[in-house]
Amino acid sequence: MAPPLLILQDIHLHLGTTPLLTGATLSVGAGERVALVGRNGSGKSTLLRVAAGEVQPESGTRFLQPCATLRSLPQEPDFGPARTVWEHVEAGLGPSDDPHRARWLLEQLGLTGEEEPARLSGGEARRAALARALAPSPDILLLDEPTNHLDLPAIAWLEEELRGFRGALVLISHDRRFLERLSRAMVWLDRGTTRRLEKGFSEFEAWRDQMLEEEEREAHKLDRKIVREEHWMRYGVTARRKRNMRRVGELAALRQRRREALKATGTVRMAASEGEGSGTVVAQTEGVTKGYGGPPVVKDFSTRILRRDRVGIVGPNGAGKTTLLNLLTGMLEPDTGTVRLGTGLQMVTLDQKRESLDPEVSLSEALTGGRGDQVEVGGQRRHVIGYMKDFLFVPDQARTAVGVLSGGERGRLMLARALAKPSNLLVLDEPTNDLDLETLDLLEELLADYQGTVLVVSHDRDFLDRVCTSVIVAEGEGRWQEYAGGYTDMVAQRGRGVEAKPTDTAKPAAVPRPAAAPAASPPATKRKLTFRQQHALETLPGRMAALEKEIQTLRSALAAPDLYSRDRARFERFTAALTEKEAALAAAEEEWLELEMLREEIEAG
* Ligand-binding site membership of 44 (annotated): yes
Burial 45-70 (b: 16+ CB within 10 A, else e): bbbbbbbbeebebeebebebbeebbb
- Whether the CB-CB separation of 15 and 406 falls below 8 Å is answered with no
* Ligand-binding site membership of 148 (annotated): no
- What does the alpha-carbon distance between residue 118 and residue 77 come to, in Å, rounded to a whole number? 12
In angstroms, what CA-CA distances link 394 with 71, 81, 234, 387? 36, 41, 12, 10
Contacts of 584 (CB under 8 A, 6+ apart): 547
* Ligand-binding site membership of 476 (annotated): no
- What does the alpha-carbon distance between residue 522 and residue 602 come to, in Å, rounded to a whole number? 10
Q: Which amino acid type is present at position 159?
A: E
The total of other beta-carbon atoms located within 10 Å of residue 566's CB is 10
CA quadruple 312, 315, 320, 321: dihedral, nearest 10: 20
- What does the alpha-carbon distance between residue 39 and residue 409 come to, in Å, rounded to a whole number? 10
- What does the alpha-carbon distance between residue 357 and residue 413 come to, in Å, rounded to a whole number? 9
Query: Quick one: DSSP state of residue 93?
Result: -
- Whether the CB-CB separation of 170 and 45 falls below 8 Å is answered with no
* Ligand-binding site membership of 39 (annotated): yes
- Helix H or strand E segment including 516: helix 516-519
- What does the alpha-carbon distance between residue 433 and residue 429 come to, in Å, rounded to a whole number? 10
- Taking alpha carbons only, the member of 587, 442, 535 closest to residue 40 is 442
The CA-CA-CA angle for residues 190, 194, 199, to 5°, reads 105
- Helix-then-strand count for the chain, H and E: 20, 20
* Ligand-binding site membership of 398 (annotated): no
Helix boundaries (H) for 222-286 = 228-242, 244-265
Residue 97 sits at φ, ψ, to 5 deg, of: -80, 150
- Helix H or strand E segment including 427: strand 425-429
- Written as one string, the DSSP assignment of 386-424 is HHHHHTT--GGGTT-BGGGS-HHHHHHHHHHHHHHS--S
* Ligand-binding site membership of 45 (annotated): yes
- What does the alpha-carbon distance between residue 56 and residue 528 come to, in Å, rounded to a whole number? 58
Q: How many residues does the chain have?
A: 605
Query: Quick one: DSSP state of residue 362?
Result: B
Question: Counting beta carbons within 10 angstroms of the beta carbon of residue 176, is it exposed (0 to 12), middle (13 to 18) or buried (19 or more)?
Answer: buried
- What does the alpha-carbon distance between residue 559 and residue 553 come to, in Å, rounded to a whole number? 10
- Taking alpha carbons only, the member of 486, 427, 496 closest to residue 460 is 486
- What does the alpha-carbon distance between residue 599 and residue 362 come to, in Å, rounded to a whole number? 49
Helix (H, G, I), strand (E, B) or coil at 309: coil
* Ligand-binding site membership of 322 (annotated): yes
* Ligand-binding site membership of 318 (annotated): yes
The CA-CA-CA angle for residues 541, 542, 543, to 5°, reads 90
* Ligand-binding site membership of 319 (annotated): yes
- What does the alpha-carbon distance between residue 313 and residue 297 come to, in Å, rounded to a whole number? 14
Known binding site: residues?
38-45, 315-322
Known binding site for ATP: residues?
38-45, 315-322
